[in-house]
Every structure is written in structure tokens, then in C-alpha cells.
Amino acid sequence: MICIPGDLPFVTVSDIDMVIDEVSAKETVGLVSSLSDGGTNCLAIPSDNYFQPSFGLNSFERHQVQGIKRGIETIVIDAAGMFLDVDTEVDLKECENIEPGFMDRLGAIVDN
């Protein structure tokens, strides 16, 4: 199972493939952290592991601690497209810095 929040504007197929490959190869729980707030921007759990997702503030540390307590190996995956989420105004400004015009496109009306 892979949990990817919907507020990761720069996630790519390559990022998702990296998570799948690393978790599958090592049969571990995979974590990608949020760079801004200690959250978890991706959680990958192999089907044979019982692992309880616990998202929110400082969830990355909680996920690591849960792995230790349950004796489940966790790995940190450097999937760069998953590092930035849009939880705060600061995050939105960072998106604009990375991709000028991001804010305009975010508020644009899409014609069908």
C-alpha cells in the first residue's frame, strides 16, 4: 500500500516508481518526509506488514518510532518530487519560487 497525500505538486511517476522499487527490494516500510513540517509525504507499507498510518504534525518521527517499537525496518527514501507539500502559505511561496506562475495556474479556471 502506498499513501501519497494529494497536496504534492511536484511528484512524478519516477518518484512513485522509486518508492515502489526500494520498498519491494528490501521488503520494508518506506517513508518520504516533508521538508517543511516533520510530516510524512509518502508512506509505503508491504502487504505482509501491520503498520498503522499516523499522519499529521510530526508524523515522520511517529512512523519511524512505530517501526522501532514493532520491530519493522523502515527506510527513508529520497524522492525529491515528494519533499514539498502545500500545507502553508510558505509552502505555496516555495512552489512559486520553484515554478514561476504556479500560483496563477493554481487559481486558473479550467475550461471543459
Q: Please write the tens of the pLDDT for every residue from 61-87.
A: 999 999 999 898 999 999 999 999 998
Q: What angle do CA 28, 75, 64 make, to 5 degrees?
A: 100
93 in a structural domain:
no
31 in a structural domain:
yes
The answer, yes or no, to whether residue 1 has pLDDT greater than 80, is yes
User: Average pLDDT for residues 29-41, to the nearest whole number?
Assistant: 91
19 in a structural domain:
yes
Burial class of residue 101 (count of CB atoms within 10 Å of its CB; 0-12, 13-18, 19+) = exposed
**Where residue 19 sits, what CATH number does that domain have?**
3.90.550.10
Task: Please give the Cα distance from 58 to 19 (Å, whole number).
Answer: 21
pTM for the predicted model, two decimal places: 0.86
112 in a structural domain:
no
pLDDT digits (tens, 9 = 90+) for 51-68: 889 888 899 999 999 999
Q: How confident is the model at residue 34 (pLDDT cuts 50, 70, 90)?
A: very high
- Average confidence score pLDDT of the chain: 89
CA quadruple 6, 9, 14, 19: dihedral, nearest 10: -40
Contact 42/2 with Cβ under 8 angstroms?
yes
Provide the domain count of the chain: 1
The answer, yes or no, to whether residue 49 has pLDDT greater than 80, is no
User: Average pLDDT for residues 6-22, to the nearest whole number?
Assistant: 94
110 in a structural domain:
no
Residue with cell 511536484: 10
